[in-house]
Each structure stands twice: as C-alpha cells, then as structure tokens.
Amino acid sequence: MIKQLYRIDPELAKRFTVQAEKHPVSIIRFVAPNDVPLVIHFLQAKDPASAAYVSKRIDFDNFLFEEIINLPNVTVFQDHKVLDVKTETESATVVTDQGTFTAKIVLSAYSAKSIVK
C-alpha cells in the first residue's frame, strides 16, 4: 500500500504517485489454498495515503533504485560478481570479482539465488 511509502517519507510517496508505472486499485482478493478468500477494500483516493496500486515488480524496483542511487549515504556497485560475503556484528564484507567492500548494510538486487542474504 502507498501508506507504507508515506510512513517511510511522505515526499517519497508523492514521487511514487506521480512517477511510477502503476494502476490504482480499490479492492484486492487473495484466495488461500483451501479456497477461502480474503477481500480487502481500500479507502478511496480522497486520502492519497490510503490508496493502493498494482505495479509490475520491475517498475516498482526501478522506482526504488532511482530513489536511492543519489542518497549521500548510499554507494551502488553494479556489474560486480559477488564471490563471498562475510558478516560481523557491526558490518559485512563483500568479496567481488572487482574488489572487496565493507559496509554496515549490504543489499543485493540480483535475485532470490543471490549469496547475499
């Protein structure tokens, strides 16, 4: 829900509503394996913080990536093959085919098969 983006940063949520590739929804239906449905009705868009959207994963991920790459406390390394990750109490060290990097937080956007956990 867009409400989560508002909780992180209201300006982030506003940029999402303007920029991101998305489709507004007012109701969503989940069906459990035992065929029991769960239907959620979202509040109307009079309150933007209560609206919900459906977005392709690639579009939403790209929106978030574009938001973080210019933050002053974020360094993005692309096109590095991760060979090993070593974690300590206060940091993680990532060994790649292009060098070794140490940081307090390491995120991987490779795939579910990434060795970064």
Tens of pLDDT, residue by residue over 55-96, are: 888 888 889 899 988 889 888 888 888 899 999 999 999 999
Angle at 52 between CA 25 and CA 58, to 5 degrees: 95
Contacts of 41 (CB under 8 A, 6+ apart): 26, 27
**pTM of the model as a whole:** 0.66
Q: What are phi and psi of 30, to 5 degrees?
A: -105, 145
Over residues 10-61, the pLDDT tens digits come to 999 889 888 878 888 888 899 999 999 999 887 665 666 666 788 888 888 8
Question: Is residue 105 very low, low, confident or very high in pLDDT (cuts 50, 70, 90)?
Answer: confident
Confidence at residue 90, expressed as pLDDT on a 0 to 100 scale: 93
